Amino acid sequence: MTTTTRPPVQAPPDRPDQPVRRKGIASRTPRGFYWMVLPAFALFFLLHTVPVLQGVFFSFTDSPGYGPWKFVGLSNYAALFTDSRVLHSYLFTFQFALVSTVLVNIIALAVAVALNARIRFKSTLRGVYFIPYVLSILVVGYVFQYLFTFSIPAIAQAVGNAKFSTSILSDEGLAWIAIVVLAVWQAAAFNIVLYLAGLQTVPAELYEAASLDGATAWKKFSHITFPMIWGFFVINMVLSLKGFLQVFDHVVAMTGGGPGTATESVGLVIYKGGFQGGEFGYQLANAVVFMIVIIVFALVQFRVLQREDVNA
Amino acid sequence: MSAPSIAAPVADRSEQAFGAGEPDAPAPRRRRMRTPDPEDTGHHNWWLTGLMIFLSLSILVPMYLVVVTALKTPDQLTGAGFSLPSPARWQNFADAWTLTSFPRSALNSALITVGAVTLTLLTNSMVAYAIARNMHKKLFKGLFFYFIAALFVPFPILMLTVAKLTAQLHLDNQLGLILLYVVFGLSFNIFVFVAYIRSIPRELEEAAIIDGANTWTVFWKVIFPLLRPMNATVGIITCVWAWNDFMLPLVILSDPGDATLPLQQYIFQSTFNTNYTLAFASYLLAMIPLLVVYVVAQRWVISGVTRGAIK
């Protein structure tokens, strides 16, 4: 009986543009919402998902990037594990990314704590430390390349230091350190701001209480500050590592992968082999492995760091 | 001082972002209620101040090197290169201006950056609104995680194929780059926008709906204006990304005339790699636009990025 008196609910609208919202917004999704997400979804699918799927697909082929191709099963993947250039690029990338991640986070956290302390010229100093964020890595890389090629050897010669009187960029064993310096210099800026944001969330009362108890600065940091910003630390570690594993611009600017292939990162090998070396299918297999590695790294990091959190 | 200017945007909704932290976001202002803190009134740590000024040289010295090298003649390039140029050769800038076709590449970069920022703000916030208000529905929730998951897909896996795709679609130009920045930015932007929109009370929208506004009107008239702080954050991050990015222009653009500033630097470097004074003049030219923007809007830039970090 009673239901017949409420026609608007059951009758679908004849005209789609006419919004039916008698029963409040929770009852059905206004059509507008679908139109808001549809173009974005379509474009994202076309420009992101399709290329990823294509990449996975062609990783099982011998395609050079043009012309005919055929399926080769897993042989691209098998070949990767015996390709010394690829294996070395992974070693370099891991070494670079791990060292850079640790250094960036230590330095950025230390600078952020100092910038958050009672110092003079606070906003000016913050402004200065944040400058690298707005600079192009490639352009800064060229500047650092000059620094490492000419300035540092010149200084080393002047003070009579033999070790650094030649450019470390031309030393197979040391060139990676220069790239770490550039990466840390550039990335610290952003991480400093993230840590500053974290430090703002620590209540001042805790420090006051600690001061009354006579805690030292280090005690305050290790017992109050660090545990309180643990969440920021986890996020920064994960994002830094993920970013550094994909290192590309730094290497292009500083060494181009040299000397020889000593500083080729995975991204650079994929780029060089895929675009210039006719290894489209093969480097796509490399890229698929690389994607898995990055995801595994992120998951492991979250796991480990979150477990630490429980213990702390 | 600058502390409150950063603390204020941070304090309002930091609690949703990091479940790992303490549940209650502290209000930094609470301190004001107490008797004036003796340490707030001018007891500065001068030792630490000196140290921080000294350490800031690590940022300033390379910048100084760029400026002095850009003003030298090649035969003044001796030793470590930190000496002042005498006399300064301003002609370097004029030469770099023409040799690296600075006006054209700067225009390309500006076009791409403005296009990417504008479209990103207009579209990504809208997508986030639709998702944020329908999170209880499987479809929208799925879409949310679909976009977010892409954060962990490294670019190299689509580098080769997206370059082929854009070439086939005739998008190997500035328009294609704009589109890619807007689309690839979705993952991160949706993340921050959704968190922000969910903190906006629905009552405002319901009032507008009762007045007969449809979803679109509600978004543009009610929600979009409220998103201003988050738009600033996303705008800054997108601007810095699109302006400085090297990898996407490198793999997407096919016509050298479309080159952006970083790509132009790369091309220049591989052709004139020994002409350092000229190269440094061109580096400085390439750095100046964003540096100027940064110096003028420093406060907003830092607090904007901070807001993004808190999300």
pLDDT at B84: 83
Is residue B165, in this structure, part of any structural domain at all? Answer: yes
Which positions 279-298 of A are in contact with B (Cβ < 8 Å)?
280, 283-284, 287-288, 290-291, 294-295, 298
Which positions 181-220 of A are in contact with B (Cβ < 8 Å)?
185, 190, 193-194, 196-198, 200-205
Is residue B78, in this structure, part of any structural domain at all? Answer: no
The helix/strand count (H/E) of chain B reads as 15, 0
Give the whole-angstrom CA distance, residue A59 versus residue A80.
11
Q: Would you give the distance in Å from CA A280 to the centre of its chain?
A: 25
Which positions 65-84 of A are in contact with B (Cβ < 8 Å)?
65
3-state secondary structure of B85: coil
Is residue B94, in this structure, part of any structural domain at all? Answer: no
Concatenate the DSSP letters of all residues of A133-188 into one string.
GGS-HHHHHHHHHHIIIIIHHHHHHHHT-STTSS-GGG-TTTHHHHHHHHHHHHHH
Three-state DSSP string of B240-279: HHHHHCCHHHHHHCCCHHHCCHHHHHHHHHHHCCCCHHHH
Same domain, B131 and B259: yes
Please, are residues A52 and B153 in contact by the beta-carbon 8 Å criterion? yes
pLDDT band at residue B82 using 50, 70 and 90 as cut-offs: confident
pLDDT at B131: 95
Type of residue at A99: V
Name the more confident of B33 and B8.
B33
Please, are residues A246 and B154 in contact by the beta-carbon 8 Å criterion? yes
Which distant-in-sequence residues (6+ apart) come within 8 Å of A17 by Cβ?
none
Is residue B14, in this structure, part of any structural domain at all? Answer: yes
Same domain, B120 and B213: yes
Tokens of A195: 């840590």
Task: From chain A, pick out residues whose CB is under 8 angstroms from the CB of B77.
Answer: 150
Give the whole-angstrom CA distance, residue A249 versus residue B265.
12
Same domain, B133 and B31: no
Q: Which residues of chain A have pLDDT under 50?
A: 1-26, 312
Which positions 223-252 of B are in contact with A (Cβ < 8 Å)?
240, 243-244, 246-247, 251
Positive or negative, the CA dihedral B66, B68, B71, B74 is negative
Same domain, B110 and B32: no
Query: Nearest to residue B297, comparing CAs of A107, A191, A133?
Result: A133
Is residue B132, in this structure, part of any structural domain at all? Answer: yes
What average pLDDT does range B79-97 have in this prediction? Answer: 83
Q: Tally the residues of chain A.
A: 312
Please, are residues B117 and A186 in contact by the beta-carbon 8 Å criterion? no
Q: Is A151 on the interface with B (CB under 8 A)?
A: yes
Mean pLDDT (chain B) is 82
Positive or negative, the CA dihedral A107, A112, A113, A114 is positive
Please, are residues B237 and A194 in contact by the beta-carbon 8 Å criterion? no
Please, are residues B10 and B308 in contact by the beta-carbon 8 Å criterion? no
Residue of B nearest to A191 (CA): B309
Q: Each residue of B233-291: pLDDT tens digit?
A: 899 999 999 999 999 999 999 898 899 999 998 988 877 767 888 888 989 999 999 99
Please, are residues A179 and A263 in contact by the beta-carbon 8 Å criterion? yes
Tokens of A261: 């292939």
pLDDT at A20: 46
Q: Is B184 on the interface with A (CB under 8 A)?
A: yes
> How many domains in chain B?
2
pLDDT at B87: 81
Tokens of A268: 């650079």
Which distant-in-sequence residues (6+ apart) come within 8 Å of A23 by Cβ?
A8, A9
Q: Which structural domain range is residue B125 located in? A: 99-310
Give the whole-angstrom CA distance, residue A77 versus residue A57.
13
What distance in Å separates residue B18's CA from the closest CA in chain A? 6
Same domain, B164 and B258: yes
Query: Nearest to residue A86, comparing CAs of A297, A298, A274?
Result: A274
Cβ of A81: how many Cβ atoms within 10 Å?
9
User: Vertex B299, ends B295 and B300: CA angle to 5°?
Assistant: 105
Count contacts between A and B (CB, < 8 Å): 312
Nearest to B43 among A118, A139, A280 (CB): A118
Same domain, B304 and B210: yes
Concatenate the DSSP letters of all residues of A209-221 into one string.
HHHHTT--HHHHI
What distance in Å separates residue B212's CA from the closest CA in chain A? 9
Give the whole-angstrom CA distance, residue A217 versus residue A92.
38
My answer on whether omega of the bond before B103 falls inside 30° of 0, hence cis, is no
Same domain, B155 and B259: yes
Task: From chain B, pick out residues whose CB is under 8 angstroms from the CB of A65.
Answer: 160, 164
pLDDT at A27: 54
Same domain, B34 and B110: no
Give the whole-angstrom CA distance, residue B237 versus residue B304.
9
Is residue B62, in this structure, part of any structural domain at all? Answer: no
Give the whole-angstrom CA distance, residue B98 versus residue B9.
44
Which distant-in-sequence residues (6+ apart) come within 8 Å of A230 by Cβ?
A309, A312, B20, B21
Q: Tokens 């790294």 belong to which residue?
A: A297
Nearest to A51 among B46, B79, B158 (CB): B158
Give the whole-angstrom CA distance, residue A16 versus residue A192.
51
Which distant-in-sequence residues (6+ apart) come within 8 Å of A278 by Cβ?
A64, A65
Same domain, B26 and B147: no
Type of residue at A126: R
Give the whole-angstrom CA distance, residue A257 versus residue A175.
10
pLDDT band at residue B112 using 50, 70 and 90 as cut-offs: very high
Name A61's bridge partners.
A71
Domains of chain A: 84-311 (1.10.3720.10)
pLDDT at B26: 40
Inter-chain contact B302–A275, Cβ cutoff 8 Å?
no
Please, are residues B153 and B94 in contact by the beta-carbon 8 Å criterion? no
pLDDT at B279: 87
Inter-chain contact A230–B21, Cβ cutoff 8 Å?
yes
Q: Each residue of B32-57: pLDDT tens digit?
A: 444 444 445 567 888 899 999 999 99
Task: From chain A, pick out residues whose CB is under 8 angstroms from the CB of B229.
Answer: none
pLDDT at A307: 63
What distance in Å separates residue A1's CA from the closest CA in chain B? 29
Residue of B nearest to A205 (CA): B31
Is residue B88, in this structure, part of any structural domain at all? Answer: no
Q: Each residue of B58-72: pLDDT tens digit?
A: 999 999 999 998 898
Same domain, B176 and B35: no
Type of residue at B256: P
pLDDT at B72: 87
Residue B9 clears pLDDT 60, i.e. is over it: no
Give the whole-angstrom CA distance, residue A267 versus residue B248.
13
pLDDT at A5: 41
Please, are residues A165 and A156 in contact by the beta-carbon 8 Å criterion? yes
Inter-chain contact B161–A284, Cβ cutoff 8 Å?
yes
Same domain, B4 and B135: no
Task: State the DSSP code for A61.
Answer: B
Is residue B210, in this structure, part of any structural domain at all? Answer: yes
pTM: 0.84
Q: Is A91 on the interface with B (CB under 8 A)?
A: no
Backbone angles phi, psi at A71, to 5 degrees: -70, 140
Same domain, B171 and B294: yes
Residue B292 clears pLDDT 50, i.e. is over it: yes
